[in-house]
Amino acid sequence: MEAKESKKLIGDQRSILEENLFFHAMLDENQTINSGIELPREPNLVLRFSFRNCDICRNSALFEFKRLMDLTKSNRLKAIGSFMSPHDLKIFQETERQLSFNIANVSSDYFGLELEREASEPFFFVLFPDGSARHIFIPLKEDVPRTRRYLEIIRQKYFSNDQKNPNQYTPRGVGR
């Protein structure tokens, strides 16, 4: 992990984004991450979760991710999960029919991030073309307004040109 002097975009002890805190994913010679997902050409927001996450935590994160996805036209929002088998992923998708997006099934340490190995909570991050994962954020089911604030900051910073309706997104609990 590389940490530099951080520019806090939301101040206080619970800062949401620290501009220069990032990890690098493990790349192979084809510039793919662990021989699977190709690196994006532009920053992508990733929701990373696992079958081992608390159900309520995972569902809360998926709901907020779906809200954001419904309000943008971006194909740069990725849900990436870890399931025991492809069959388990299929069962999950059938159970969660309200999800209108694809979920990639990858190994539990796919990006090489410590949070993946712990797998206790879902988390968001922005994946950059150089393989770095920045703006890592762990949503708390008890603090949905904070998650919405994080997603709004990410949307404005990286996806403002991808909106279906730029005046449409004003999540409850998020001040401007």
More confident residue, 74 or 68: 68
**Confidence (pLDDT) at 4:** 40
- Exposure string for 91-127, b = 16+ CB within 10 A, e = fewer: ebeeeeeebeeebebbeeebbbbebbeebebbbbbbb
Distance CA 89, CA 94 (A): 9
CA dist 61 and 148 (Å) reads 10
Does residue 81 surpass a pLDDT of 80? yes
pLDDT for the residue numbered 37 = 64
pLDDT digits (tens, 9 = 90+) for 108-153: 888 878 888 776 789 999 989 888 888 999 999 999 999 999 999 9
What is the pLDDT, as a whole number, of residue 98? 66
pLDDT in tens, 40-51: 888 999 999 988
- Residue 1: is its pLDDT beyond 50? no
CATH architecture of 22-162: 3-Layer(aba) Sandwich (3.40)
Regarding beta strands 44-50 and 132-137, do their DSSP bridges make them parallel or antiparallel, or are they unpaired? unpaired
> What are the pLDDT digits (tens) for 50-63?
888 888 999 899 99
For residue 170, the model assigns a pLDDT of 45
How high does pLDDT run on average in the chain? 74
